[in-house]
Structure 1
Amino acid sequence: MTGIIILAAGASSRMGSAKQNLLYRGQTLLQAAISKALQCDCEIVSVVLGANAAEIVPTLIGLPIKTFFNERWKDGMGSSIAYGVKELLIIHPNLDSVLFLLTDQPFISADHINKLIEHRQQGQIVTSAYNNTLGPPILFDKVYFSELMEIKGSEGAKKLINKYLNKVLPYPFEAGAFDVDTPEDYERLAGKY
């Protein structure tokens, strides 16, 4: 059983507005990520909100997801990872794995997410590989839950990937190299894709 956690708590400081609410192909970036997650073979889809939650929540009404509010979002992505895992395990204590998605990778597909879930093995980290790096979407087996809940600040999950490189299973996702962080990125997304 896999739980999906969409990390959407950031302030989008480089964008200048809540990038979770940017429109692309008739949906917000966050709605699109949720839509793809809901098509996957998972037990539950959850979203961790923080900054701009008041603007974002109205766009999520009626969606079959669980929403968590990380009051410590200013501490960085690590705090949202830890908080999301803790809250998800309260609802679903028997999860075998968690998969993290970001809202700013517009080319994530349900097919790619399902491939990560299908490749899950006990004790492994299944990560996306693009642009000569490893990153999200990324799936962690339950043996990493306690360490995920200890992540702090802006560390993100990279620390665990580097610590357990021999347990990492990379899965190609070249489209993951494009993310939307700045107004220029959004213009390229709107104009080219």
Structure 2
Amino acid sequence: MPAIILLAAGASTRLGRPKQLLRYHGQTLLRRAAETAIAAAAGAAVVVVTGAQHHALLPELAGLPVTVAHCPAWKQGMGASIKCGLAALEKHQALPEGITLMLCDQPHVTPALLQQLAATHVATGRAIVACAYASVHGVPVFFSASAVPLLRQLPDEAGAGQLLKRHSELVASVPFPQGAIDVDTEAQYAALLAGE
């Protein structure tokens, strides 16, 4: 199975409090995402990249088989966090057969969805497999070993979405309509809880 990098470095400026620590179904979004990643990875490495809220997030990861990588350059943007996660992976192991990137504020991501990304890579031979929702390709997204160098070249301020647009010929997709549900504002969080 591919390794998983869970990005949890942001400061949640639009929300005004750490979104990683919002509760959903009795767990914080971070704990839920980390447990989902561990289940999907089936023994492969899981790296959680922290930044703004590093110390506040550590208790939520206690006891889980994850590597926590603090990204000092988190303010630069998602690219910086992705590269920090890659560096942490390489420190612990030779590069895996692929890497799946995920965020902690998409509460409907399941282990089965993450595994489907890797399975779609095998079935289609495409180097990148992204989730399709709201007429875009986005995270979670799988990068095969051959596509990982593209992540290394990302500018610090850019996210993986830029690569999906620029290298669309490499991308297969898995439908995930619920991927559009994320938590950037209090209104979105209220809507999420209302849908529980």
Classify the TM-score, shorter chain: over 0.9
How far does residue 31 in structure 1 lie from its aligned partner after superposition? 0.5
Tell me the amino acid that sits aligned with residue 182 of structure 1.
T
2:14 aligned with 1:14, yes or no? Answer: yes
Partner of 1:142: 145
Give the superposition deviation at 1:41.
4.1
Contact 2:79 2:158 in 1 (8 A): yes
Q: Among 117, 130, 134, which residue is 1:131 paired with?
A: 134
Q: Which residue of 1 aligns with 2:58?
A: 57
- Confirm whether residue 161 of structure 1 aligns to residue 164 of structure 2: yes
Equivalent in the alignment of 2:174: 171
Amino acid at match of 2:68: T
Residue 153 of structure 1 deviates from its aligned partner by 2.7
Cα-to-partner distance string for 1:135-160 (whole Å, 9 max, x where unaligned): 00000011122221221232101221
**Structure 1: which amino acid aligns with 2:104?**
T
Matching of residue 110 in structure 1 with residue 128 in structure 2: no
Q: Provide the C-alpha distance between the structure 2 equivalents of 1:147 and 1:132, rounded to a whole number of angstroms.
A: 23
SS at match of 2:173: strand
Question: In structure 2, the residue corresponding to 1:39 is in which secondary structure?
Answer: helix
Paired position in structure 1 for 2:120: 119
Partner Cα separation in structure 1 for residue 38 and residue 49 of structure 2: 16
Give the direction of change, closer, same or farther, for the CA distance of 1:88–1:39 in structure 2 (3 Å limit): same
TM-score normalised to the size of structure 1?
A: 0.95
Partners of 2:3 and 2:41 lie apart in 1 by 9
Alignment check: 8 A CA contact 1:123 1:142 kept: no
Letter paired with 2:51: G
Q: Secondary structure at the match of 1:40?
A: helix
Note the alpha carbon deviations across 1:131-182, whole angstroms, 9 max, x for none: 1000000000111222212212321012211221111001100010110000
Q: How does 1:38-53 map to 2 (within 5 A)?
A: 38-42=38-42, 43-53=44-54
Following the alignment from structure 1 to structure 2, what is the Cα–Cα distance between the partners of residues 40 and 7?
16
Question: For residues 138 and 56 of structure 2, what CA distance do their matches in structure 1 show?
Answer: 28
The runs of 5 or more residues in structure 1 that have no matched partner are: none
SS in 1 for 2:139: strand
In the TM superposition, structure 1's runs of 4+ consecutive aligned residues that sit over 6 Å from their partners are: none
What is the SS of the residue equivalent to 1:101? strand
Structure 2 unmatched runs, 5+? none
Distance 2:61 2:88 in 1: 19
Give the whole-Å Cα distance in 2 for the aligned partners of 1:95 and 1:123: 17
Match of 2:187 in 1: 184
Superposed CA RMSD in Å reads 1.3
Contact 1:41–1:117 (Cα < 8 Å) also in 2: no
Corresponding residue pairs, total: 193
